[in-house]
Structure 1
Amino acid sequence: MKTPIKVILSLGSNQGNRQENIEKCIELINQEIGLVLCVSKIYETPSWGFDSDYFFNCALVLNTSFSPDKMLQKIMGIEKKLGRTPKNASQYEARIIDIDIIAIENEVIKTEFLNVPHIEMQNRLFVLQPMLDLNLDWKHPVLQKTVKELLTICPDKSDCKVISEIEFIPIKHPISNLNYIAIEGNIGAGKTTLASKIASDFNAKIILERFADNPFLPKFYKDQNRYAFPLEMSFLADRYQQLSDDLSQFDLFKDFVVADYHIFKSLIFAKVTLQEDEFRLYKTLFDIIYKEMPKPDLYVYLYQNTDRLLENIKKRGRNYEQDIKASYLDKINKGYLDFIKSQTNLNSLIIDVSEFDFVKKQEDYLKVLQAIKEKIDDSIVR
């Protein structure tokens, strides 16, 4: 999965119901491009570069996993949905909605269709003034100036007055009141992807399982009977060490912790892979360790049907996973579901993501966040 990036957009409208156009636009950006984190006030400004009605303008910052080119395509699609005719690059014109990419983190991009940072941003008060509301720790990568510094030297002295606060309320992090959330799922269910997105969007410390460093994993998929026990023991030791270390180290700059696994997965996989006598020994050791481990405030299980899991495994192309059998995945799924049923004191949530693609479809990601938020709200009420 690509690491989400922060993007600054400038929105403008001078036709029809200008505020409604901007609010609809923000909703579509949130649904189709990335999670909107912060929105400025709405400002009214005169048209820039041509004579026309006054504009309503605002700025926002969002997280997205899309490439700049893909993001530009989606922006054009949103403008079209809202009634914008194709842009005339050779002249300025009145418009129902206009969306400009102002900055993409600290990147400098120069292509036929995209210049980042926006080549005119430092000359436009209607871009800089709303950007100041976002309180960004950002500096122009070419001019090496902050937004506040750019405002002091901006040649645009036109009137720029606040009209209103935006009605759109960006999603605050859905893990409020919780310190530790574990996201689990079968092989290929998307747990690491979801944990990474949540950590990036909501300022969480992330703990990712270090499966890639396990030397027994490729051997296990070739000869399960021989390597099952050393594999499960090495995983248990590593998970215990990692979770113990990371959960004990408080991070002042993060709001909570999100992990893409829970220590109990060790027992679930061991029950499937080990012989009966090996499992008895393993469980004795596991029970000793499990008593010492912090329990998550929320345990989320991403359920995907086996056919979809096999598709995902094939797509991500790890050689040692390609021979995984459907029957093995079925057993793992059953193990997780049995575990959840047996843990009456565990605050758990099962989300069926068999029809979701929360990497390519922002609306699917929002559905998952909403399910988590509703579960947390319900837990607080009870």
Structure 2
Amino acid sequence: MKIQRITYLSLGTNRGDKFNNLQDAINLIAEEIGNVVDIASIYETTSWGFVSDNFYNTCIKVSTYLPPEELILRLLKIEKELGRIRKEGNEYSDRLIDLDILLFDDEIIFSKNLIVPHPRMLERKFALAPLAEIANTLIHPIEKKQIGICLKNCSDTSKISIIHTKLKRPISIAEKYNYIAIEGNIGAGKTTLANMMSDEFNAKIVLERFADNPFLPKFYKDEERYAFPLEMSFLADRYQQLSDDLAQFDLFKNFIVSDYYIFKSLIFAQVTLQNDEYKLYRKMFDLMYKEIVKPDLYVYLYQNTERLLQNIQKRGRAYEQNIEAAYLEKIHDGYTNFIRTQQNLNILVIDVSELDFVTNKEDYKRILQQIKSHS
């Protein structure tokens, strides 16, 4: 499990649309660095160290899994993305956006590229005032005094005033949802995406245990003979796994991602079973389905049949190599019917046919944005 750290960042701007500059920076920090836990008010201050237009400054509290050395590199990247061009030398100047690390947990860092706590924060009211608003009793690791006391002791006499327009705190996926189920056809990439999201958000992951099913290789060789024992064993295993794994976690405090939802059992059974077998299977399914925790969000990854066949061939599971396009299309039709008829399930369909979210970070971010913005 990755270690979550708390950092306090100072944001400043005195060019262009200053409010939007701060909001854009906060949004990118939420995407690139971690969960924005708290945001101070905007403080308008005169320029510090040179004569220019007034600055808008604020401070944010961020929960991140990044080490400090990676954190500063990400902040510099965000500055550049927002249009800041850093000048040579140490002279103060106008800037579209300025991002600084004030504190990183209670660490004291002296390295070539980073000094924490920020070496000049105690001299600057524009840094201390917003920090004190959201971390008044926090102890400065070198000064050994509360931030509120440091602000009272600050010798900076610059004029400072609060702007009453409030910045918006981005809500992370892990805050918005307790449990996300990711579904899709065979080879759609659901397990890969679930693993990536679990790593990104340090979430509990629940993966289907298909590899342990002894009937699966036999089914692909003789579908008619092994369809019923295969589907019944899958149903029992999925029910047991979801019941056990979801029961171990407080869904109001933990983020869970799974690469399947138990309803896939019914979808595959509709395709593979004879009518009399399906009727018996449906009775068992309905009893189990009532007891299963429903996901806050059900994500269906749509992948066209050609790409599915390519992915199946690429991952090289021997028992899957004879899967035909017609079978995949029947599975997709089953999912389509399921999605169309569900009234009480929060469903998001994402077309990933033209996306490569494994190797292309922008494609991955696009998927996360769709999940985050879905209501």
Aligned to 1:216: 212
Aligned to 1:293: 292
Change (3 A) 1:324 1:76: farther
Contact 1:224–1:273, Cα closer than 8 Å, also in 2: no
The Cα of 1:302 is off from its aligned counterpart by: 3.1
Aligned to 2:189: 188
**Where do residues 94-113 of structure 1 align in structure 2 (5 Å cutoff)?**
94-102=94-102, 112-113=112-113
Q: Distance in 2 between matches of 1:79 and 1:158?
A: 26
Instruction: Read off the aligned partner of 1:60 and give its amino acid letter.
Output: I
Change (3 A) 1:93 1:295: closer
Contact 1:39–1:60, Cα closer than 8 Å, also in 2: yes
Q: Distance in 2 between matches of 1:240 and 1:348?
A: 21
**Where do residues 248-263 of structure 1 align in structure 2 (5 Å cutoff)?**
251=250, 254=253, 260-263=259-262
Query: Any idea what SS the aligned residue of 1:265 has?
Result: helix
1:75-110 deviations in Å (ceiling 9; x for gaps): 445434544322435444443321124456678877
Q: Distance in 2 between matches of 1:310 and 1:70?
A: 39
**Where do residues 1-382 of structure 1 align in structure 2 (5 Å cutoff)?**
8-15=8-15, 18-29=18-29, 36-45=36-45, 50-53=49-52, 55-62=55-62, 72=72, 75-88=75-88, 90-102=90-102, 112-115=112-115, 118=118, 121=121, 124-134=124-134, 149-153=146-150, 156-159=154-157, 161-172=160-171, 182-186=181-185, 187-189=188-190, 192=194, 196=198, 208-211=205-208, 216=212, 220=216, 224-225=220-221, 233=232, 235-245=234-244, 251=250, 254=253, 260-270=259-269, 282-296=281-295, 298-306=297-305, 327=325, 330-343=329-342, 346-355=345-354, 357=357, 360-361=361-362, 362=365, 364-370=367-373, 372-373=374-375
- TM-score, normalized by length of structure 2? 0.67
Q: Distance in 2 between matches of 1:88 and 1:9?
A: 23
Q: Distance in 2 between matches of 1:258 and 1:57?
A: 37
Q: Which has more radius of gyration?
A: 2
Instruction: Read off the aligned partner of 1:38 and give its amino acid letter.
Output: D
- Report sequence identity in percent: 43
Q: Distance in 2 between matches of 1:16 and 1:157?
A: 30
Contact 2:183–2:299, Cα closer than 8 Å, also in 1: yes
Contact 2:108–2:117, Cα closer than 8 Å, also in 1: yes
Instruction: Read off the aligned partner of 1:10 and give its amino acid letter.
Output: S
Contact 2:267–2:334, Cα closer than 8 Å, also in 1: yes
Change (3 A) 1:179 1:38: same
1:125-157 deviations in Å (ceiling 9; x for gaps): 4334323444599877x6697xx8244347643
Change (3 A) 1:319 1:250: closer
Q: Distance in 2 between matches of 1:275 and 1:135?
A: 64
Query: Any idea what SS the aligned residue of 1:208 has?
Result: strand
The Cα of 1:164 is off from its aligned counterpart by: 1.4
The Cα of 1:167 is off from its aligned counterpart by: 3.9
- TM-score, normalized by length of structure 1? 0.66
Contact 1:45–1:158, Cα closer than 8 Å, also in 2: no
Change (3 A) 1:11 1:263: same
